[in-house]
Amino acid sequence: MTRGLVLLALTLLSACGSSTSLPAPRIVSIRPASDTVGRTDPILLQIDAAYPIRLDYAEGEVQIQGRMRVWIGEHEARVIALDAQSLFAVDLPANLGAAGYDVRVALADGRETTSPQGFTLLSQDAGTPDAGPDGGIPDGGIYVADGGPEPEPEPDAGPDPTRPMSEGDITGYEFEPISDQTIGQPFAITVRAVGPRAADFTDKVDLSISKNNGDVSPTSLDKFVGGICVQNIAIDAQGANVVLTVTDRFGVQSSSNAFKVK
């Protein structure tokens, strides 16, 4: 099975003291809750957790204690990335078959939470009823002309996450506010896709800068994960009103706030 990514969006609540004074973490949502075996697109898991912190008075720092671990069923998912917005990217365990899996999150101090059957993998032909043995169809009896009202149509299952992106699926992008920066010094930006299929967006987008006397590096953002891209960039430009702009292959553009580079 190909390996996918699970994104864990965490709300960090500053807290002091031992784990006995802190509430258990809580899984807020899992998107999507089910998919077919072999999916490579990300799965978004949002949790609400309060972490114990340590105050380092000598260094003037506040440090979050411990790390978080995640299991899909009995398989632990390895954390491979963490950004300033508390987004964890972990490998989806390989060789998971079609089944429902508990999703368990455990903090380093022993507090944990589980979403029973929180994520389900379906076989490629799931949902196709078994036709059963051929023949032997019983006589339906006398034909009745009026069988009553037509049955209600099946509800729309929503957009197909496996369908390639098309024009109109993404209507724009949102930058997290960017503070003043130093020329040539790398810093992280966070960009979110907006639109009907934002959670399925995994494309790259072009990145440009408003100042004519400088450059931005790199000139494109790596693949989005679940509609979110967090990436380090550097700016070789100076000015009081620097603006970054992203442009996708359909021509959709969005810009950041104006910030200073000195």
Place 132 in a pLDDT band, splitting at 50, 70 and 90: very low
Q: Is 135 in contact with 217 (CB distance < 8 Å)?
A: no
Pairwise pLDDT comparison (177 vs 137), residue with the higher score: 177
Domains and CATH numbers, the chain: 5-122 (2.60.40.10), 172-261 (2.60.40.1930)
Say what the pLDDT of residue 254 is: 96
Q: How far is CA 106 from the centre of its chain?
A: 19
Percent of the chain exceeding pLDDT 70 equals: 65
pLDDT tens for 83-120 read: 544 566 667 788 888 999 998 988 888 899 999 998 88
| CA–CA gap between residue 75 and residue 72 (Å, rounded) | 5
The 3-state DSSP class for residue 204 equals coil
pLDDT tens for 8-24 read: 555 444 444 445 578 88
